[in-house]
Amino acid sequence: MSNPDELLVAISAAVESERSNQMSLTVVVGGAVITGRLAPEAVWRERVAEVLRDSDRLGPFSDVFAGGSRESRPSRGEAPTHLHFHLARILQGSLGIPETGGMYRVAIDDVSAWTVGDLSYSDR
Model pTM score? 0.84
Q: Rounded CA gap, 95 and 53, in Å?
A: 29
H-helix segments, the chain: 6-18, 41-53, 62-66
pLDDT at position 52 is: 92
Give residue-wise pLDDT tens across range 58-78: 998 999 998 754 444 455 668
| Element at 29 (helix H, strand E) | strand 24-29
H-helix segments, 19-122: 41-53, 62-66
Could you tell me if 115 and 91 are in contact, meaning their C-beta atoms sit under 8 angstroms apart? no
Give residue-wise pLDDT tens across range 1-27: 467 899 999 999 999 998 777 899 999
